[in-house]
Amino acid sequence: MSATIERGFAMKKDMNELIRMSRFYGENTDMIQAGGGNTSFKAGDVMCVKASGKNLKEVQSEEDFVTVDLVGIGSILADNTLSGLDDNERDVIISTKLLAARTEATVNRPSIETFLHALIDRKFVVHTHPVYVNAMTCSADGHEIALKLFSRSDYVWIPYKKPGYPVACVLDEAISGHYTEFGTRPVLVFMQNHGLIAAGDSFEEINGLTEKTISPIREYFSGYDAPDKDAEINTVNGKIMTVLEKALNERLPGAGSDLKWSRCPYVTMLSKGNLKNIALSGAFSPDHIVYCGEEPLLLGAEDSLKAVSGKVSDFTERLGYGPRYFIVSGEGVIILGSNEREIAAREEILRTHIKTLMLVLRKSRPVFLGGDECRYLAHWESEKFRQKLLKKAGSDEARR
């Protein structure tokens, strides 16, 4: 058997393994929400990484991944001129360079987190957003909690930075520091207000590491509380729904064709229950902003069409985009989307927000993303592409 054929067989085997682990984590909403998270494997001087806009739970073949040249990715990280650019200019340059690093012609874009995967010295890398891990990374004393539960030689902790190139630069420094101190390259990374990276040479190795990591954190936070009993929805307010539909058609035609009352009791806690005020104080992670925006639009159950229309207009003028979900005081939460898929993604994010907050409050105080960071993420060009794919996928499903 020639070396070329042998390598082809090996890559096929690794791809099947990557698909298996992608779906395994993607199907667990306590590990991955909506289109978040990404996976990869390395083979020599190339790396296959999840394509931007693909949901891990839905990957089926190599068509859901992009192969990039690791040397090309490394040259981007080594380009010291990028750090001196403003965010928008740097984003444009990096997006162009990422596309140029693809080894084959494809419409798919590499995940913006491609750089993180390239830095980890293992064949397989899985980046997830586990609820329990983020309860720790979104706590005011999260790093101290990690020091209690794990040996410093087993992980690196990195402070919050913008997704993509900025956070990769911080990880690069952290890996170098870890190697200098301990003589090893880490396979476990805690990312403040973001998530977890676990790496290994097989699915079994990564799964074992992930469970070994989450288990003591789960024990520390003692599991979830059940949602407040008064957060259950038995009936919905048809009147405010009708008023909202008319207001959106009037003020934001084409903004979204579907509205849904969430029946998830965790999500409903945003409108009633003892957590509603603090839950609306901010967002824990980038995906919250990307999918749900910087804030909801607050409505009264008896608001008139004129009042709702005015609120929609004021919201849009102030933030530069329309509301994506609505808190009806004392009643529940209405989610807007272009299709059922988009609504389901937003509901997953909001449910995770509440579950994370419930855990954080048991042991600490929550740390939310800052206002400037939320504003940046809300208008982030890279994530507009992912949102575009989400809308398109829902439209494609409707035509089937």
Residue with tokens 């084959």: 104
Please tell me the distance from the alpha carbon of residue 137 to that of residue 225, in angstroms, as a whole number: 19
The whole-number pLDDT of residue 123 equals: 98
Which domains are delineated in the chain?
A: 3-220 (3.40.225.10), 229-399 (3.40.225.10)
Helical packing angle, 142-149 and 203-221, nearest 10°: 110
Q: How far from the centroid of its chain's Cα atoms is residue 351's Cα?
A: 13
- The average confidence (pLDDT) of the chain is 91
The whole-number pLDDT of residue 9 equals: 54
E strand or H helix that includes residue 85: none
Q: Between vectors from CA 361 to CA 355 and to CA 364, what angle results, nearest 5°? A: 130
pLDDT tens digits along 265-310? 999 999 987 788 899 999 999 999 999 999 999 999 999 999 999 9
Q: How far from the centroid of its chain's Cα atoms is residue 109's Cα?
A: 17
Determine what percent of the chain falls in helix, strand and coil, rounding each to the nearest 5: 55, 15, 30
H-only helix segments in 32-164: 70-77, 87-100, 114-119, 131-137, 142-149
Sign of the four-CA dihedral 135, 137, 143, 149 = positive
The whole-number pLDDT of residue 276 equals: 86
Predicted TM-score (pTM) of the model is: 0.92
Stretches where the chain sits below pLDDT 50 are: 1-6, 397-400
State the distance between the two ends of the chain, measured CA to CA, in whole angstroms: 43
